Amino acid sequence: MIHPYPKTHILAASFIGIVITLVLTLSPSSKVNATRTSTPIELGTPQPTLLNEINQLEKAKTSKTISPPPQNNTETITKAQPTEHWQTIKVKDGHSLSSIFSLAGFNDKVMYSVLGNKKQNKSLSQIFPGEKLAFLQGTDDKLSKVKLIRSPLESILYTKIENGTFNSQTITRSPDIHTSYREGEIESSLFLAGQAAGLTQKQIMELANIFGWDIDFILDIRSGDKFSLIYEELYLDGEKYKNGKILAAKFSNQGRELEAVLYRAENGTSNYFTPEGNSMRKAFIRTPVDFARISSHFNLRRKHPVLHKIRAHKGTDYAASRGTPIKATGDGKVIHTGRKGGYGKAVIIQHGQKFTTLYAHMSKYARGIKTGKRVKQGQTIGYIGSTGLASGPHLHYEFRVNGVHKNSLKVKLPHATPIPKNQLADFKAQTYSYLAQLSTFSDSYQLAANEKQ
């Protein structure tokens, strides 16, 4: 068979086809749509220059390297802030400022350099158990800062300055305040009902103190009595720090509806009032011992448990465990502290011109209670015991008006001062929202309870 083309032309065409195929295979390409194109090729004798170009192209393909993408030579350098390592010591009973500095590794010379001659720095020497002292050393290992942490809300920072003395700065924080609601129904006692409602022991005591002038929580409480309240919850950094004040409360006792609301006056004092502005506070509270049991009532014909003969009992006895705190029932001045015959260890308080109260059979007196000392209503003045003519630990309490003994459970107690007329508008404006919230929460809880039934 005779080929229509010379043999050299055929070989050259074959070689060129192989090279083109290889180039197309190895060359990178983007995604494309394939199309078919017919192009007539006129074959001739390959020239040496063409072969050289083909050989160079093949060498370039086999030696091709991929260069990495260009790097960004601009770098952002963030200097890490040095971590401060504070040494913190909690103040305990028996600690002195000198002993705490010693525990932290500093002598009295360093302590006096912090105190210095600045009046404001003297606060550092007034420390109390439960507070904390924190110490920070500088790069030279010498004391650079001291922090007196009074509470999570208040601290005092003492910072060393160039001349080696320390400046003081008071740091205060304001908590976030949320309002919370609780309600409960009494079956046997306010304490158990309060616990069931989620109240702390301190909140139960506060609730009892608010209504303590109108309700005797030993004698007056009945099954079915109800209470409700709104109170503050204080938060720091998103976490609950503690409970704040009760803002408004309602107590249903044997058909009586009692309401109380907190009012903060411009002078910084705060007290509880009725919605009309009358003080919840009376000149005296009914009971000097919280949640005690009355073991003997006022009785002028009572037989004495120790002497075993008829002897007038001109007071009220409260039985409780030894060491239970005894509270002053009103503001006044201590006119007697010491033993008093069959009363044993006793305290007598004068309240103005007309009233005196007596507290007997104490085991001991509270710190600082002595004749001539002024006391506040609710202040602890001593602790229950059985000194004198007593058959067991209890408090004997007497209430006298112009020297005449009265039944403390029945005598009419004088009221404290109501809201002055010139402050009544401010009182209404401040307390309206508290009472409205209490009513709204109560209605919502009642609606939810009805839907469950």
Residue 222 resides in a domain? yes
Residue 32 resides in a domain? no
Q: Are residues 181 and 247 in the same domain?
A: yes
Residue 308: pLDDT over 80: no
Cα Rg for the chain, rounded, in angstroms?
A: 44
What pLDDT does residue 76 have? 46
Residue 66: pLDDT over 50: no
Phi, psi at 55, each rounded to 5°: -65, -45
Residue 427 resides in a domain? yes
Residue 93 resides in a domain? yes
Phi, psi at 16, each rounded to 5°: -65, -40
Where is the domain boundary, 172, 206, 225? 172
4/85 Cα distance (integer angstroms):
97
Q: Are residues 273 and 419 in the same domain?
A: yes
Sign of CA dihedral 296, 300, 306, 309: negative
Residue 113: pLDDT over 60: yes
What pLDDT does residue 74 have? 44
What pLDDT does residue 154 have? 94
Can you name the residues that pair with 88 across neighbouring β-strands?
134
Mean pLDDT value of segment 312-332: 89
24/252 Cα distance (integer angstroms):
96
172-198 residue pLDDT tens: 999 999 999 999 999 989 999 999 999
Lowest mean pLDDT among 34-43, 81-90, 374-383: 34-43
191, containing H or E segment = helix 190-196
Residue 34 resides in a domain? no
What pLDDT does residue 14 have? 59
Mean pLDDT value of segment 229-241: 94
Q: Are residues 211 and 257 in the same domain?
A: yes
CA dihedral 372, 417, 407, 410 (to 10 degrees): -160
Q: Are residues 148 and 192 in the same domain?
A: no
Supply the pTM of this predicted model: 0.57
What pLDDT does residue 382 have? 97
Structure-model confidence comparison of residues 83 and 287, the more confident one = 287
What pLDDT does residue 412 have? 78
Q: Are residues 297 and 402 in the same domain?
A: yes
Residue 403: pLDDT over 90: no
> Which CA distances in Å does 186 have to 95, 183, 212, 249, 296?
45, 10, 16, 15, 25
Residue 212: pLDDT over 80: yes
Where is the domain boundary, 146, 172, 198? 172
What pLDDT does residue 47 have? 44
Residue 63: pLDDT over 90: no
Residue 339 resides in a domain? yes
List the CATH number of the domain containing 378: 2.70.70.10
Lowest mean pLDDT among 121-135, 304-318, 323-337, 400-414: 304-318
Q: Are residues 148 and 188 in the same domain?
A: no
Q: Are residues 126 and 267 in the same domain?
A: no
> Which CA distances in Å does 94 have to 4, 104, 148, 155?
122, 16, 17, 22
List the CATH number of the domain containing 206: 3.10.450.350
407-447 residue pLDDT tens: 878 787 777 788 988 889 999 999 999 999 999 998 888 78
327-365 residue pLDDT tens: 999 999 999 999 999 999 999 999 988 899 999 999 999
Mean pLDDT value of segment 254-258: 91
Phi, psi at 427, each rounded to 5°: -60, -45
Residue 234 resides in a domain? yes
Where is the domain boundary, 119, 154, 172? 172
Q: Are residues 261 and 188 in the same domain?
A: yes
Phi, psi at 439, each rounded to 5°: -65, -40
Mean pLDDT value of segment 101-116: 92
In the chain, how many domains are there? 3
6-61 residue pLDDT tens: 555 555 555 556 555 554 444 444 443 433 333 343 434 444 444 454 445 444 44
Q: Are residues 343 and 433 in the same domain?
A: no
Check if the beta carbon of residue 334 is closer than 8 Å to that of residue 372. Answer: yes
Q: At what angle do helices 48-62 and 7-26 cross, to 10 degrees?
A: 30
Q: How many CB atoms lie within 10 A of CB 223?
A: 10
pLDDT > 90: what percent of the chain?
Answer: 52
Q: Are residues 116 and 217 in the same domain?
A: no
Residue 231 resides in a domain? yes
Q: Are residues 306 and 254 in the same domain?
A: no
Q: Rounded to 5, what percent of the chain is helix, strand, coil?
A: 25, 30, 45
Lowest mean pLDDT among 47-56, 162-171, 219-228, 380-389: 47-56
- Mean pLDDT over each residue of the chain, to the nearest integer: 81
Domain that holds residue 142: 87-172
Mean pLDDT value of segment 79-95: 82
Structure-model confidence comparison of residues 253 and 31, the more confident one = 253
Q: Are residues 238 and 259 in the same domain?
A: yes
What pLDDT does residue 288 have? 92
